[in-house]
Amino acid sequence: MTQHAIVLLSAGVPGSSAGGVSTTGWWVGYTLGFLVLLVVLMLVIPILLLARTIGKEATMINDSLTQAVHNTAPLAALSTTIEHATIIIAGLKRGRERLGG
């Protein structure tokens, strides 16, 4: 085999040198990049799944709070009811006093 044929055959082999340039650094870089990508994905995917779950729960909580606001709206008129009850009680006391009781 000639020198050119050996260079061409060894160009695709990791760690071999093509024309005097080693490709080991490229393979190490690709491997480290792939590992970093895997670690990032392993950390980000659970966070995204948790965020989706929180989003679903937040919608249900908001619906419950809206229903609670609707159900407790009549309590705003409670002070008016107390005022009217106080007036009625005062009138009943006056009536009892006039009747001698």
The structure tokens listed for 67 are 């229903």
Full-model pTM? 0.47
Report domain extents, the chain: 25-99
**Over its length of 101 residues, how does the chain's per-residue pLDDT go in tens digits?**
555 545 445 555 555 555 667 899 999 999 999 999 999 999 999 999 999 999 999 999 999 999 999 999 888 889 999 999 999 999 999 999 998 86
